[in-house]
Amino acid sequence: MALSIKHFINVTGMVKDLKSFNFSVYGRWFGYINIILCIALGIANLFHVNAVVAFGVIAIVQGVIILFVEIPFLLKICPMSDNFIEFIKKFETNGWRCVFYLINAIIQYCSIALMATSLIVCAVGLTISSMSYAVAFSTKQEFQNTHIIKNPTDDDFPHEAVVREML
């Protein structure tokens, strides 16, 4: 039996998230996209012969921090300092996530002063996440987790025997 990534993706949960009109879910989805954008475009901007390199490094750091903010499970499996864990746990509400993404977006918009690069895409993505969390905060929507990845307790989740067979 072939095992693919499709076995772990919860399509019905994604459709349910889209229909929920909960903007904290949309902010989290854009947060996932921002992880990829910040790390990839941060690396791409390391090859400039300009001070933009500093903003490329900042983008990589932002991508890693967003990874821990949006996927808090990683805080349990990665050895981190207590100070870092307490810092990340501050962003468990829509309001604080709005502020967090807005500050990160402003930092990336500042890179335009040196040179217009692809970091503008990071800034726009961070702004979209900030706006999504701001709408969720202003309309008093509950902070909600997404259902993109299947829950290991679901009946159709691939279990150990399937994974062992794959290996």
Q: Using CA atoms, how far apart are residues 44 and 167, in angstroms rounded to an integer?
A: 34
Which residue range forms the structural domain that includes residue 95? 24-150
pLDDT of 66 > 80? The answer is: yes
Q: Which residues contact 109 (CB under 8 A, 6 or more apart)?
A: 120, 123
pLDDT of 132 > 90? The answer is: yes
Lowest mean pLDDT among 14-18, 122-126, 134-138: 14-18
Strands (E), the chain: none
Cα diameter, the chain: 55
Structural domain contains residue 3? no
**What is the three-class DSSP state of 149?**
strand
Q: Give me 24's structure tokens.
A: 């904290």
Q: Given the structure tokens 């902070």, which residue do they identify?
A: 143
Q: What is the mean pLDDT of residues 86-106?
A: 92
In 3D space, the residue among 162, 167, 165, 124 whose CA is nearest the CA of residue 7 turns out to be 162
Q: Given the structure tokens 């990160």, which residue do they identify?
A: 104
Structural domain contains residue 68? yes
pLDDT of 156 > 60? The answer is: no
Structural domain contains residue 159? no
Structural domain contains residue 165? no
Structural domain contains residue 7? no
pTM check: above 0.95: no
Total domains present in the chain: 1
Structural domain contains residue 12? no
pLDDT > 70: percent of the chain: 74
Specify the pLDDT at position 107: 95
pLDDT > 90: percent of the chain: 49
Structural domain contains residue 108? yes
Structural domain contains residue 157? no
Q: Cβ distance 86 to 54 under 8 Å?
A: no
Q: Using CA atoms, how far apart are residues 76 and 96, in angstroms rounded to an integer?
A: 21
